Amino acid sequence: MYYIDYHHHSNHSFDSKAVMMEICQEALNKGIKEICFTEHFSVNPEAPTYGHMIWKEYLSDIQKCQTTYENQLVIKVGVELCEPHLMREQYKAALSSIPFDYILGSVHNLSGFTLRKYMHAHPERDIYLDYFKEMHALVSYADIDVLAHFDLMKRYAHTTRGIYHFPDYQDIITSILQIAINRGIGLEINTSGWRTSLNESLPSIEVLKLYRELGGELLTIGSDSHKKEDVGVGFTQAINIAKEAGFNAYYTFEKRKPIRIPM
């Protein structure tokens, strides 16, 4: 099995202190063959992510890692964009010169609030519906390769609001996934949920099965690590749930082009 991990945050993200070189060494120690750094980035001055990334330093650190681990570990250049369907011209201007292999798109904020704060500020709202509506806008308009942690809201809501009942949201989820397929946008199995009390992947098996039934094929696997110890964690579980959902391959990316890896 070609062991990959396509979602990492180092100290180039606002919420991580992990050092790139140490992440790479951890990946090598665990037998991982290919990783992609996907630092948080936003052009919205109101977002927590804003202002942390210095692209010259980020690319320099990746190049140093690529040189150090040449012929041992494939290291790709990626990013995780926060609400990239908003302020699209600003994103385009900020990112056009960066040689990305892989771009994740995610919803971390709703109406100017982080997901957690939005949930607490709006006890009367159907927060899952609001979240999926924002995902629908994201997949419709953003220039991305893959949807990150598709049902992220449950990470914050499961202890107080419970995990969403899939049939209640199946229509809007179907629409999101169909647009993704039509636009050539993939889906990530994010393993971070298995490391918390949520104890399930993002997205759930129901979403993965629906994506496959609709004809979806582009699947990536990422630990969403923010510390080196979490690098690669959950890969085997992700492969198992992917097979259960009907997939027989997952993907890596190079210069934003998907590369198929048979399971």
Pairing of strands 186-190, 146-147: parallel
Count the neighbouring beta carbons within 10 Å of the beta carbon of residue 242.
Answer: 21
Say if CB 223 and CB 234 are below 8 A apart. Answer: yes
For 4-262, CATH number out of 3.40.50.740, 1.10.3720.10, 3.30.413.10, 3.20.20.140 equals 3.20.20.140
Say if CB 50 and CB 3 are below 8 A apart. Answer: no
**pLDDT (tens digit per residue) in 26-36:** 999 999 999 99
At CB < 8 A and 24+ separation, what contacts does 204-207 make? 204/151, 204/163, 204/166, 205/241, 205/244, 205/245, 206/166, 207/150, 207/151, 207/166, 207/173, 207/177
Beta bridge partners of 257: 254
Domain boundaries, the chain: 4-262
Count the neighbouring beta carbons within 10 Å of the beta carbon of residue 3.
Answer: 16
Say if CB 220 and CB 239 are below 8 A apart. Answer: no
From first to last of its 263 residues, what are the pLDDT tens digits of the chain?
999 999 999 999 999 999 999 999 999 999 999 999 999 999 999 888 999 999 999 999 999 999 999 999 999 999 999 999 999 999 999 999 999 999 999 999 999 999 999 999 999 999 999 999 999 999 999 999 999 999 999 999 999 999 999 999 999 999 999 999 999 999 999 999 999 999 999 999 999 999 999 999 999 999 999 999 999 999 999 999 999 999 999 999 999 999 999 99
pLDDT of residue 90: 96
Residues 6+ apart with CB under 8 A from 199: 193
pLDDT of residue 85: 97
Say if CB 6 and CB 222 are below 8 A apart. Answer: yes
Residue 126, CB-side half-sphere exposure with 13 Å CA sphere: 9
Say if CB 74 and CB 31 are below 8 A apart. Answer: no
